[in-house]
Amino acid sequence: MRRVSPVASGLDVLLARAPDPFGGARVGILSHQASVDSRCRHIIELLHARRVRVCALFAPEHGLWGTAQDQIPVGNQKDSALQIPIFSLYGDRRVPTAEQLAGIDILVCDLQDVGSRYYTFIWTLALALQACARHQKKIIVLDRPNPLGGGAPEGPVLDPRFASFVGLYPLPARHGMTIGEIARWMNGALGVGADLEVVPMRGWRRAMDFESTGLPWVLPSPNMPTVDTAWVYPGACLVEGTNLSEGRGTTRPFELIGAPYVNAEPLARLLNAEALPGVHFRPCYFEPTFHKYARQLCGGVQIHVTNRRIFKPFLTGTALIKRVFDLHRPFFAWRDPPYEYEKEKWPFDILCGTDQVRQAIENGKPLGALEKSWLAPLKTFARRRKPFLLYN
């Protein structure tokens, strides 16, 4: 007997409606390898088996099957089984064109997000929403859990002056919304005005850990292998804006942070003395097989989340970078542009959505004062997002 998951994803809910829930319309699918139902069957396979008129496929960063590493452009291809085009939305062109949309009536988006502003899938969705509005195509977003739950947001709300493909609109670093809720927010609060339908999940609650949903975790990108990775990502991704390794090329990306110049034990001792909520830092050494410092011994820390309910990932990532800056100032450096199609602004600044965090670290501003600086904007954001939330 097959176990029934406590939560049904938007895909599962859609498939329960009718054999062809699109009434014979021509359909395009924006998806990736994590676009599976509760039995790990992929959306393309499922819709094709129901004789839905799937006419085009669209792929976000990392490609349709998640094979490309970060920031690697992906080209257009052809699906060998269905003999239909696969249009890449990550590269020089990230917006669906009129020609690409001409052959469909509905664009179906089914992407697993990870709850962080920097994760590019929500911005691929944003540009697809704009294109569908412009070319009068319906867009259906199949909702999926935020693996961090739907609790309070954290971190700076993006300053529009620092908009980029890791943050087009004013979201905080950890936004606490599902991808369907973000679609509703962008379409309504920001005036995109597309013909949007969001298919909600059934049974999901904002306080749920991903493991409680009963849904399978399929890594949505090559360096997001586990739910644990998603939990540290809203802070550890900031490391991409520095010359520290974020652990790519190891089996624990974003949990292992370090560099050849880092002295592991003093760093871990200072970070644990901060008494940050829900986290412990273990001094460690690692050797990435690729990416920064490939095949070089790095000293650093592993981030161990001890209590998800109180853990603050953005504050944790900021504290880590601040302590490395203080300990190893002659060797530490901010990463130079370009980064994610931004050629002028510091990568660290566009990740933070502001230059205030970098300046605070450089000027020795206390961590508590830095955190207080983003609390008022977060309250405003939480109030403004409320009309677009789907779940209690």
Q: How does pLDDT run across 193-226, given as a tens digit for each residue?
A: 999 999 999 999 999 999 999 999 999 999 999 9
State how far the Cα of 32 lies from the Cα of 121, in Å rounded to an integer.
10
In 3D, which of 387, 317, 391, 383 has the Cα closest to residue 153?
Answer: 383
What do you get for the CA distance between the two ends of the chain, in Å? 31
Task: Report which of 102, 234, 54, 223 is spatially closest to residue 155, judged by C-alpha positions.
Answer: 234
pTM, rounded to two decimals: 0.95
Give the amino acid at 63: G
**How much is the pLDDT for 90?**
95
Per-residue pLDDT reduced to its tens digit, 25-36: 999 999 999 999
Show the domains of the chain with their CATH numbers.
Answer: 10-216 (3.40.50.12170), 227-354 (3.90.1150.140)
The DSSP secondary structure of 21-80, one letter per residue, reads TTTT-EEEEEE-TT-B-TTS-BHHHHHHHTT-EEEEEEE-TTTTTT-S-TT-----EEET
pLDDT given at position 2: 56
pLDDT recorded at residue 242: 98
Greatest alpha-carbon pair distance for the chain in Å reads: 64
Spatial CB neighbours of 41, under 8 Å, sequence gap ≥ 6: none
Q: How many residues does the chain have?
A: 392
pLDDT number for residue 1: 40
Could you report the average pLDDT of every consecutive run of 10 residues in the chain (392 residues)? 80 94 96 97 96 97 87 83 93 94 98 98 98 98 97 95 97 98 97 97 96 97 97 98 98 98 98 98 98 98 98 98 97 96 96 98 95 95 96 89
Helical segments of the chain, H only: 10-15, 43-49, 98-102, 121-134, 179-188, 227-236, 264-273, 313-327, 347-352, 356-362, 367-373, 375-385
* pLDDT tens per residue, range 88-120: 999 988 999 999 999 999 999 999 999 999 999
CA–CA gap between residue 275 and residue 271 (Å, rounded) = 7
Nearest Cα neighbor of 258 from 230, 277, 236 is 236
Q: Rounded CA gap, 123 and 119, in Å?
A: 8
Integer CA distances (angstroms), 87 to 35, 47, 96, 140, 301, in order: 17, 18, 8, 18, 40
pLDDT at 254: 98
Distance CA 79, CA 94 (A): 19
For residue 3, the model assigns a pLDDT of 62
Q: Would you state the torsion angle of the CA atoms of residues 38, 41, 45, 50, taken in this order, to the nearest 10 degrees?
A: -40
